[in-house]
Chains A and B, each alone.
Chain A
Amino acid sequence: MRGGQDSVRAPVLRFTNCRLLRAGKLLREDLWVREGRILDPEKLFFDEQRLADQQRDCGGCILAPGFIDVQINGGFGVDFSQATEDVGSGVALVAQKILAHGVTSFCPTLVTSPPEVYHKVLPHIPVKRGGPHGAGVLGVHLEGPFISQQKRGAHPEAHLRSFEANAFKDVLATYGCLDNVCILTLAPELDRSHEVIRELTALGIRVSLGHSVADLQMAEKAVQSGATFITHLFNAMLPFHHRDPGIVGLLTSDQVPAGRCVFYGMIADGIHTNPAALRIAHRAHPQGLVLVTDAIPALGLGNGRHTLGQQVVEVDELSAYVAGTTTLCGSIAPMDVCVRNFLEATGCSLESALEAASLHPAQLLGLEECKGTLDFGADADFVLLDDALHVQATYISGELVWQAEVARP
């Protein structure tokens, strides 16, 4: 609880002339903010007998919770999987740049790397609140190295590992410290995965299934052991088969424990997933869909060669491939582009598209009380969007942190 007397005197901001996303609907309501959190104006009126101190006109925009990107490998020349001298600056640069795309919280993602890289990099990516300096870091997403050789995609084969010898101890030895980690992608068919999944889950780390050749039964067992996420559905896993749906089958599996939701990331960059496949997934299990960018360091840089971890990557217009191959490796579409692509491809409601980029990732991480929502008491991280879902302004803790340039006459 924030300090009683002080918070009562703190200024109250009222954002008017907007359409709020609340309870799955866009409503004509005002947003009230105090001390960086969303306030209940009715309580303010009757209990404190106060009005707003300042008003901000939102010009009729849509006001949605800030986007949350749980899979982003870097961007703007920064590669989170590189053990540079100043990891912190790299993270800070990306954090600042993604504000323009409506992202207010993110999970820096590290691809398969040798242990030295993890040991050097992880301690420098702490959980951090967002602000005018950039989007908040919710925790690190570790994608690999405990993945399938067959489905490694762009991950370097030389650094793949298994934990069949010492299970969780191998995990700790590889990464060093898991304090700043909030999501871990692994292949459940690896021996002793269920012990590892249970230990990670007990630590509060979300376990994700990906880069795997697991069949549905193996995937279901993994979910029962605690796994709650699927990394970029369809990509780097066995294709759906009507007698063995594989990991994709989790979307409609009846073996998921009651009350639990299996979330799944989707890259809606127009390249990684055919729109028809997006629609099938969305229709089968809309509440679990989480939009991710899986963005690589080339995001925001244009065509040419760039690095991603231990690999070299070629960027050509909208696609990024491992140099000299036809293997996709991450995307260069920013989050707001993904949201618009998703909206168009699925024909879903504005509310659905917005929730896929805010509420669902917050629910995946167990943060839905303060992130990804405009409910009273939540952090005032939000975006103003026009009807075509172009970002007009980004706010963190009720403070303007980015604004689209207004055309001058």
Chain B
Amino acid sequence: MRLVILDNYDLASEWAAKYICNRIIQFKPGQDRYFTLGLPTGSTPLGCYKKLIEYHKNGDLSFKYVKTFNMDEYVGLPRNHPESYHSYMWNNFFKHIDIDPSNAHILDGNATDLQAECDAFEKKIKEAGGIDLFVGGIGPDGHIAFNEPGSSLVSRTRLKTLAMDTILANAKYFDGDLSKVPTMALTVGVGTVMDAREVMILITGAHKAFALYKAIEEGVNHMWTVSAFQQHPRTIFVCDEDATLELRVKTVKYFKGLMHVHNKLVDPLYSMKEGN
């Protein structure tokens, strides 16, 4: 893996956005060649989305030939509920960019047949040629998407019941009222994300530090599902200083020492303006 450590949240968000920007532009997307991006929700990626929007507004990055697949969506929450992941993606990303609405895929948590909805999602990913870059986050319990502790590391898109840790973590979005938090969600599986050609996990904040430690310094374990990516050929973990608080000094020093190599991935920052 690459472990990219930045001083703070803003720098980590910027590094991640630059990386995504460069990957899309270097791919040279076009009419018959779409770049497929897997996307997360939550508070961690907000800074990254803001930077991507900035690059778009500056004319440096277009999402016209990008297809997106979100990781998850709550079950039973109306699509226009302010806390649904559809609302999140619209308000924090889609409404600010030029993506074609038919290329923005999010699981429908109100489908009549939820498993059929999940199977159809897997099919859409396959038809799009697989995911080029899957961006994700990590839960305090080490989960990727809603693959809660105990999820199979080869799981596919399916319905999951949320663990108490996750419900507690999400309560802040529902006026702190636990009874209002949805208890089930549709989520891509660990296996689904593992199929992506490249994976980037964003981890910021001290409250995620223990999960990061478990994910990269301990073994592959279905109780900490992000650990599965130890077996993926191309994973990048982008984090801030606070997220490294539970790691060994040796680990942190090693990867910090590699920053000059990591930075070559984002510098120079490409632009679609130059007619790349």
Are B90 and A42 within 8 A (Cβ)?
yes
With A42-B90, A45-B90, A46-B79 given, is the CB distance from A30 to B101 under 8 Å? no
Are A45 and B80 within 8 A (Cβ)?
no
How far is B205's CA from A347's CA once the two chains are assembled, in angstroms?
Answer: 42
The reply to whether the CB of B100 lies closer than 8 angstroms to some CB of chain A is yes
Are B101 and A46 within 8 A (Cβ)?
yes
How far is B103's CA from A49's CA once the two chains are assembled, in angstroms?
Answer: 9
User: Shortest distance in angstroms between B98's beta carbon and chain A's nearest beta carbon?
Assistant: 8
Chain A contacts for B80, CB-based, 8 A: 40, 42-43
How far is B94's CA from A30's CA once the two chains are assembled, in angstroms?
Answer: 13
Are A41 and B95 within 8 A (Cβ)?
yes
Interface size for B (C-beta < 8 A) is 14
Identify the interface centre among A30, A40, A46, A50: most chain B CB within 10 Å of its CB. Answer: A46
The reply to whether the CB of A51 lies closer than 8 angstroms to some CB of chain B is yes
How far is B104's CA from A45's CA once the two chains are assembled, in angstroms?
Answer: 9
User: Interface code B177-205, partner A: CB below 8 Å = 1, 0 otherwise?
Assistant: 00000000000000000000000000000
Chain B contacts for A43, CB-based, 8 A: 80
Chain B contacts for A44, CB-based, 8 A: 101
User: Shortest distance in angstroms between B12's beta carbon and chain A's nearest beta carbon?
Assistant: 25
How far is B74's CA from A82's CA once the two chains are assembled, in angstroms?
Answer: 64
The reply to whether the CB of B102 lies closer than 8 angstroms to some CB of chain A is yes
User: Shortest distance in angstroms between A38's beta carbon and chain B's nearest beta carbon?
Assistant: 15
With A30-B95, A41-B95 given, is the CB distance from A46 to B100 under 8 Å? no
User: Shortest distance in angstroms between B151's beta carbon and chain A's nearest beta carbon?
Assistant: 28
Identify the interface centre among A42, A44, A50: most chain B CB within 10 Å of its CB. Answer: A42
Chain B contacts for A45, CB-based, 8 A: 90, 94-95, 101, 104
Smallest CB gap from B87: residue in A:
A42
User: Shortest distance in angstroms between A215's beta carbon and chain B's nearest beta carbon?
Assistant: 46
Question: Could you tell me which residues of chain A, from 113 to 162, have a CB within 8 Å of some CB in chain B?
Answer: none
User: Shortest distance in angstroms between B124's beta carbon and chain A's nearest beta carbon?
Assistant: 14
Chain A contacts for B94, CB-based, 8 A: 45
User: Interface code B67-81, partner A: CB below 8 Å = 1, 0 otherwise?
Assistant: 000000000000110
How far is B91's CA from A45's CA once the two chains are assembled, in angstroms?
Answer: 11
The reply to whether the CB of B208 lies closer than 8 angstroms to some CB of chain A is no
Smallest CB gap from B86: residue in A:
A46
User: Interface code A263-282, partner B: CB below 8 Å = 1, 0 otherwise?
Assistant: 00000000000000000000
How far is B104's CA from A51's CA once the two chains are assembled, in angstroms?
Answer: 12
User: Shortest distance in angstroms between B65's beta carbon and chain A's nearest beta carbon?
Assistant: 14
Contact of A51 among B86, B91, B101 (CB under 8 A): B101
Are B102 and A49 within 8 A (Cβ)?
yes
Smallest CB gap from A30: residue in B:
B95
Smallest CB gap from A48: residue in B:
B101
User: Interface code A11-54, partner B: CB below 8 Å = 1, 0 otherwise?
Assistant: 00000000000000000001000000000111111101111000
User: Interface code A63-99, partner B: CB below 8 Å = 1, 0 otherwise?
Assistant: 0000000000000000000000000000000000000
Are B95 and A46 within 8 A (Cβ)?
no
Are B86 and A42 within 8 A (Cβ)?
yes
Smallest CB gap from B95: residue in A:
A41
How far is B102's CA from A43's CA once the two chains are assembled, in angstroms?
Answer: 13
How far is B94's CA from A43's CA once the two chains are assembled, in angstroms?
Answer: 12
Are B101 and A50 within 8 A (Cβ)?
yes
How far is B100's CA from A49's CA once the two chains are assembled, in angstroms?
Answer: 8
Smallest CB gap from A43: residue in B:
B80
Question: Could you tell me which residues of chain B, from 79 to 122, have a CB within 8 Å of some CB in chain A?
Answer: 79-80, 86-87, 90-91, 94-95, 98, 100-102, 104, 106
Are A49 and B101 within 8 A (Cβ)?
yes
How far is B151's CA from A391's CA once the two chains are assembled, in angstroms?
Answer: 60
Smallest CB gap from B108: residue in A:
A46
User: Interface code B145-169, partner A: CB below 8 Å = 1, 0 otherwise?
Assistant: 0000000000000000000000000
User: Shortest distance in angstroms between A148's beta carbon and chain B's nearest beta carbon?
Assistant: 51
How far is B97's CA from A41's CA once the two chains are assembled, in angstroms?
Answer: 13
How far is B100's CA from A41's CA once the two chains are assembled, in angstroms?
Answer: 13
Identify the interface centre among B95, B100, B104: most chain A CB within 10 Å of its CB. Answer: B95
Chain A contacts for B91, CB-based, 8 A: 42
Smallest CB gap from A41: residue in B:
B95
How far is B94's CA from A46's CA once the two chains are assembled, in angstroms?
Answer: 10
User: Shortest distance in angstroms between A202's beta carbon and chain B's nearest beta carbon?
Assistant: 37
How far is B79's CA from A44's CA once the two chains are assembled, in angstroms?
Answer: 13
User: Shortest distance in angstroms between B138's beta carbon and chain A's nearest beta carbon?
Assistant: 28
User: Interface code B36-49, partner A: CB below 8 Å = 1, 0 otherwise?
Assistant: 00000000000000
Identify the interface centre among A30, A43, A45: most chain B CB within 10 Å of its CB. Answer: A45
Chain B contacts for A30, CB-based, 8 A: 95
Chain A contacts for B104, CB-based, 8 A: 45
How far is B94's CA from A50's CA once the two chains are assembled, in angstroms?
Answer: 12
Chain B contacts for A42, CB-based, 8 A: 80, 86-87, 90-91, 95
User: Shortest distance in angstroms between B54's beta carbon and chain A's nearest beta carbon?
Assistant: 14
Chain A contacts for B90, CB-based, 8 A: 41-42, 45-46
How far is B80's CA from A262's CA once the two chains are assembled, in angstroms?
Answer: 34
Identify the interface centre among B79, B80, B98, B101: most chain A CB within 10 Å of its CB. Answer: B101
Smallest CB gap from B102: residue in A:
A49
How far is B79's CA from A397's CA once the two chains are assembled, in angstroms?
Answer: 28
User: Shortest distance in angstroms between A54's beta carbon and chain B's nearest beta carbon?
Assistant: 15
How far is B204's CA from A377's CA once the two chains are assembled, in angstroms?
Answer: 41
How far is B98's CA from A303's CA once the two chains are assembled, in angstroms?
Answer: 55
User: Shortest distance in angstroms between A94's beta carbon and chain B's nearest beta carbon?
Assistant: 40
Chain B contacts for A41, CB-based, 8 A: 90, 95
How far is B94's CA from A44's CA once the two chains are assembled, in angstroms?
Answer: 12
How far is B101's CA from A45's CA once the two chains are assembled, in angstroms?
Answer: 6
Give 12 pairs: A residue, B residue, CB < 8 Å, sorted on A: A40-B80, A41-B90, A42-B80, A42-B86, A42-B91, A44-B101, A46-B90, A46-B101, A46-B106, A49-B102, A51-B98, A51-B100
Interface of A toward B, CB cutoff 8 Å: 30, 40-46, 48-51
User: 4 shortest A-B CB distances, which residue pairs?
Assistant: A49-B101, A49-B102, A42-B90, A45-B101
Interface of B toward A, CB cutoff 8 Å: 79-80, 86-87, 90-91, 94-95, 98, 100-102, 104, 106
New contact pairs (4) apart from A30-B95, A41-B90, A51-B101, CB-CB < 8 Å: A42-B91, A46-B79, A46-B90, A50-B101
